[in-house]
Amino acid sequence: MEPKRTTVRDLRRHNRSTLLTKLYFDGPLSRHELSGATGLSAATVSNVTGELVEDRLVVEAGLVESDGGRPRVLLRVDPGYAHVIGIDLGETGVKVELFDLAMNRLAAVDNPLPASHPDPAAVVAEIATGLDEVISTAEVDPGSVLGVGIGVPGIVEQGPTVLVHAQTIGWDSVPLVDLLRTAGTDLPLFVDNGAKTLGQAEMWFGAGRGARHAVIALIGSGVGAAVITDGASYRGATSSAGEWGHTTISYGGRACRCGALGCLEAYVGAEGVLDRYRRGRGGRVAEQDEQSGLDALITAAGRSKAAAKVLEETAGYLGSGIANLINLFNPERIVLGGWAGLKLGAHLLPEIRRATLAHALREPYSQTSIELCQLGPDAVAVGAATLPVAALLEQGADFRPRRRAA
Ligand SMILES: [Zn+2]
């Protein structure tokens, strides 16, 4: 293998990325503060921020007093430089949301999936319509859209052709990006697993901020996780790492949608929880969508022993699953999210913590906290929208929208 040579161009790009990232997360900051925070010289900071201001990616944001000297100019990333779109392709619906660079939500649409095992072409058509809808609702120039991120319920194989393997909705090697291109979408597209986009959203703006080692768990119909080690998402050899929902919690146990027996998802995913309730003694839920079904179960737990028992066991299964994460990864923080994770967590967090303690090693348990996501049930879409932002922070003005937003 050729040794990697660092060129002047690489160095400039690295410096630009460092300063842009610092300004994005911690701005407004003065050039003096930027130099102190990044270790870059005053001359480098002055040169690079000059370029960023020229590109209009960074703007001045007032003045701050300095000790005795002249007031210093504050700089920040311009939220209006470009727009980004995040899509949550979930197991029950497709959310499409448009944001400015500061992640202010400017438009959103939410449509149910056409079927539980939807034809990829039908989903692609729904995504394409959603893109047009948010762009026209927010009244933005399509050329100002920097990119579109899509969080999907399955494994994403990155490569010349991006392939989605989402066994639980019946997708096997679906070339999602190619299909969207054929449907006429010409915006830059980024695809990742939904639990990983949720993880990035919570790490950037929510309950994960400041942690270096964390696990962000996504519980909806299905179950997944983003494992963050030393600040980066752990991906494994082909990016499928984090399929926590399909770790075995009970040998020979309940049938999972993946075809195996005893997966965690078959016990704590919304579909699994409701099915356990239905099959249990006296458990009845009217035929309705999973979200209202889970609400009904939680409400029923106040008066029905069967419902209360299902929830108590759910906390137990979830606690043992979380204990496995703690014993394997030694995280500082475990964050529970996804629409079902938020509903269950709001009612069962103390029970979940107790069950975790009962199954985890004491030392790593004492080093971790178990919290709820802060960005709510839309966090997968927010996280998906951060994918093009991450490309911008990495590449600086080399990755730019076709037209700057007005
Ligand atoms: Zn499974």
Say how far residue 45 (Cα) sits from the centre of its chain. Answer: 31
170 C-alpha vs ligand 1 centroid, how far in Å?
Answer: 13
Q: For residue 49, what are the contacts with CB-CB under 8 A and spacing of at least 6?
A: 19, 31, 34, 58, 75
- pLDDT cut 70: percent of the chain above it: 96
What are the tens digits of pLDDT across the range 95-131?
A: 999 999 999 999 999 988 877 788 999 999 999 999 9
| Structural contact between residues 206 and 335, judged by C-beta atoms closer than 8 angstroms | yes
Q: For residue 184, what are the contacts with CB-CB under 8 A and spacing of at least 6?
A: 128
| Amino acid, single-letter form, for residue 345 | G
Q: What is the pTM of this model?
A: 0.91
| Amino acid, single-letter form, for residue 336 | L
Strands 93-100 and 105-112: antiparallel
Q: Which two tokens stand for residue 11?
A: 């160095």
49 C-alpha vs ligand 1 centroid, how far in Å?
Answer: 49
Torsion (CA) 325, 331, 334, 337 in degrees, nearest 10: -80
Mean pLDDT over the full length of the chain:
92
Of the candidate ranges 23-37, 81-95, 276-290, the one whose mean pLDDT is the lowest: 276-290
| Structural contact between residues 293 and 274, judged by C-beta atoms closer than 8 angstroms | yes
Taking the CB of residue 165, how many other CB atoms lie within 10 A of it?
A: 15
322 C-alpha vs ligand 1 centroid, how far in Å?
Answer: 16
What are the tens digits of pLDDT across the range 198-223?
A: 999 999 999 999 999 999 999 998 99
226 C-alpha vs ligand 1 centroid, how far in Å?
Answer: 17
116 C-alpha vs ligand 1 centroid, how far in Å?
Answer: 17
Question: Token pair 């002055």 is at which residue?
Answer: 46
What are the tens digits of pLDDT across the range 330-359?
A: 999 999 999 999 999 999 999 999 999 999
pLDDT of residue 262: 98
Radius of gyration of the chain (CA): 23
pLDDT of residue 255: 96
Residue 71 CA to residue 63 CA, distance in Å, equals 6
- pLDDT cut 90: percent of the chain above it: 79
pLDDT of residue 116: 76
What are the tens digits of pLDDT across the range 218-244?
A: 999 899 999 999 999 999 988 889 999
pLDDT of residue 283: 55
248 C-alpha vs ligand 1 centroid, how far in Å?
Answer: 8
Mean pLDDT of the region 271-279: 93
pLDDT of residue 91: 82
Q: Which two tokens stand for residue 326?
A: 């703690």
